[in-house]
Structure 1
Amino acid sequence: MLSIEEHELHTRCLIKCLMFVNGKFCKDPKMATANDFSFSGLNIPRNTGNRVGSNVTLLNVDQIPGLNTLGISLARIDYAPNGGLNPPHTHPRATEILVVVEGTLYVGFVTSNPENRFISKVLYPGDVFVFPFGLIHFQLNIAKTPAVVFAGLSSQNPGTITIANAVFGSDPLINPDVLAKAFHLDIKIVNYLQKLFGGNSE
């Protein structure tokens, strides 16, 4: 049976553990360990054998709980040779700074309306590029060898919205008439794209 002091300590701990900060459980600092602040294996190449030829390993607050409230996260991105692509996407809660470790990448982002300026550059090992907060951006491997980058993000939970997946693969699907008009496409093409991106029509 718990003493009164032990019961009060246990209750305080439960209250602290059930508190949310930034949408995540706030762990009692006295219960934190080195594992809450570390991750191993980011040196291991990832599988890029998918449709776009890239693999993003994101280390955010879900993988490193100690990041909660610190406003940073990290990603390793691997690209297949000859066209491995991290497709156009945006981070709704973060700016991204990227450094190329291996390979040659064509990168770019588009500024906001009404200018919609496209800013791009070819990057080589050791080069750094910044993608401003919330803007649509991409990276494409233009070399015959694999490419690897590390990216820092200014949020412990930056989020990612991959444009094509979000627009054509939503659940439930966006009404095809809306997309046909917005993208000036035949509705048959919209239906095809929604099937391609696995949107849920139910």
Structure 2
Amino acid sequence: MTAKRVLDETSIYEVGPNHCISAFNESLNRSLGEVAEAASANPASWPCPEVALLEEFSDEHRAAELYLPSIGWSSSEKIEPLYCALRDCKLPTFPDDISWLSIGSNFGKEIETHRSGLENCLIRYLTQSSKMMGLTLATNEPSVMLQKNARLELHNSSFYIVPKWVMIFRRIFNWWLMSLSTEAFSAAYVLERHSVASPT
């Protein structure tokens, strides 16, 4: 069972930031392995360079563009930048101790202090730990994250802020991965089926 599936099936009260970060980094490791496996399964460097000699507006050229990967897709020159980009996407652990969230609040001012403290933890993570955002953007983003993905619960006589960490970190992951969306290595080839015997 993948870490992502475990998180999806775990109560929000049992999931913390580092559970989400571990699941994300595990997925990146799996992606690195899949890219490497696909590249190593292509020792003949298929498709051959001669495909580029097809007449530009011919049916064969159109078919090659539609159904064949780009020439040299499995070469180390193409694969290594993708490896580096995926490795650089791994997230650092969440450094702040947020155990104080479980203490709860009795008054409106305390609730606001806890909310502000949680926002500041996220701001530090986005700007200092992961360095994925500048201070201006990171000042607004945690507020949006918590408005959409945290709730206030009353237990006995205390109020508790309950963050939905899985949803918060999905938003963080999307921000992080957006850095790849405009790069030359924003796409990769992986095997549709694994451990397929080589044709004789």
Instruction: Tell me the TM-score range normalised by the shorter chain.
Output: under 0.3
TM-score under structure 2 normalisation? 0.21
TM-score under structure 1 normalisation? 0.21
Question: Which has the larger helix fraction?
Answer: 2
